Structure 1
Amino acid sequence: MTGAPRPAGLRRNTHPGLAVPCSRCGAGAGRPCTVPATGQRMPAPHPSRTDAAAERAA
């Protein structure tokens, strides 16, 4: 690994909901949501977090 940034076409797509902190599990902006009871990462942000990001973008 060279540490060079990836070209724009090869970057991972991040979910727009990750732009804001999660009020449900407490994950910070840019961090994945977790299941509060187990601490396991969720495959997608909590719906309330996605809604908050949409409101912020509007």
Structure 2
Amino acid sequence: MLTVRVRSAGNVWLDIGGNEVGTGITIECDSTDDYIITVNNSNNYAVNYSLFVAIN
């Protein structure tokens, strides 16, 4: 299982295999597919952000 979470002080969102994930939201993916995680800092508003990824 892949668990991904992003927190930020701005407008940051993720694209995970076509799934958009907003700030403070957790997504869990339970498959054997490959995932590309893209962090988008909309209009460069976020001063800082953190990305948490766990694979169990």
What TM-score range do you get, normalising by the shorter chain? under 0.3
The answer to which structure has the higher strand fraction is 2
Name the larger-Rg structure. 1
Higher relative contact order (CA 8 A, sep 6+): 2
Provide the TM-score with structure 1 as the length reference.
0.26
> Which structure carries more helix by proportion?
1
Q: Return the TM-score normalized by structure 2.
A: 0.27
